[in-house]
């Protein structure tokens, strides 16, 4: 049994590092996020009882696991991950979730094709800081068009500043707040929450 778990872990790491080497700027992190970061990233899901949760940049599911621990039903989970190998891994692991091997910028079109026009909350670990500004803006436009008016987007970053500028947030009447910080991540991580209105 122990050997099977070790083999599983080895295969998991093998897929991560192979893809990281092939595409470092798109993956944007040396290691998957840790459980403490996942807890901070999913705090806004506590007690929610309806609607879909959209996760952008799911990788191999490090934060997806924490979303499920918040009692979100798997079939209410929408995972968008551009890397095909990661998306295949996710589809295999989360058989009832809605997994798309796609660019986050296409989220609105993809979801509308499934009859989903709105999501309750969003969990996002896309590497915004190293993204082209144009790409960042098109993803944000989609995010804010899909988000429920009282919904919340959590975003993780390795820097103290929110990766989304105030100017862009103002355009959508949103504001960001530093929700938490953890040293139990390599490197340490900051989590921001973005909601409607000014704070």
Ligand X SMILES: C[S@@+](CC[C@H](N)C(=O)[O-])C[C@H]1O[C@@H](n2cnc3c(N)ncnc32)[C@H](O)[C@@H]1O
HSE-up of residue 167 (Cα within 13 Å, Cβ side): 1
Compare residues 40 and 126 and give the one whose CB is closer to ligand X: 126
Least distance to ligand X, CB of residue 27, Å = 4
Which spans of this chain sit near ligand X (rule: CB under 6 A)?
26-29, 32-33, 56-59, 62-63, 80-83, 86, 103-104, 125-127
Nearest approach, Cβ of residue 64 and ligand X (Å): 7
- CB 83 → ligand X: shortest distance, Å? 4
Q: Which is nearer to ligand X, 78 or 194 (CB)?
A: 78
Instruction: Enter the tokens of residue 17.
Output: 């590092």
Closer by beta carbon to ligand X, 27 or else 152: 27
Tell me how crowded residue 161 is: count the other CB atoms within 10 A of its CB.
12
* Residue nearer to ligand X on the CB measure, 106 or 175: 106
Q: Which two tokens stand for residue 110?
A: 């993809």
Burial class (CB in 10 A: 0-12, 13-18, 19+), 147: buried
Q: How far is the CB of 49 from ligand X (least distance, A)?
A: 24
The minimum distance between CB 197 and ligand X, in angstroms, equals: 27
- Smaller CB separation from ligand X, 23 or 198: 23
């Amino acid at each position: 049994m122990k050997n099977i778990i070790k083999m599983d872990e080895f295969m998991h790491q093998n897929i991560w590092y192979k893809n990281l080497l092939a595409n470092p700027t798109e993956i944007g992190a040396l290691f998957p996020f840790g459980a403490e970061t996942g807890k901070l990233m999913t705090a806004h899901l506590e007690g929610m009882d309806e609607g879909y949760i959209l996760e952008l940049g799911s990788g191999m599911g490090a934060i997806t696991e924490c979303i499920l621990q918040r009692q979100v039903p798997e079939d209410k989970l929408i995972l968008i991950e551009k890397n095909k190998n990661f998306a295949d891994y996710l589809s295999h692991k989360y058989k009832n979730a809605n997994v798309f091997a796609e660019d986050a910028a296409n989220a609105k079109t993809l979801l509308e094709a499934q009859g989903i026009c709105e999501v309750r909350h969003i969990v996002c670990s896309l590497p915004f800081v190293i993204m082209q500004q144009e790409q960042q803006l098109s993803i944000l436009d989609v995010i804010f068009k899909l988000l429920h008016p009282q919904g919340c987007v959590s975003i993780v970053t390795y820097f103290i500043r929110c990766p989304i500028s105030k100017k862009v947030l103002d355009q959508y009447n949103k504001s960001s707040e530093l929700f938490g910080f953890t040293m139990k991540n390599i490197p340490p991580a900051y989590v921001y929450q973005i909601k409607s209105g000014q704070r």
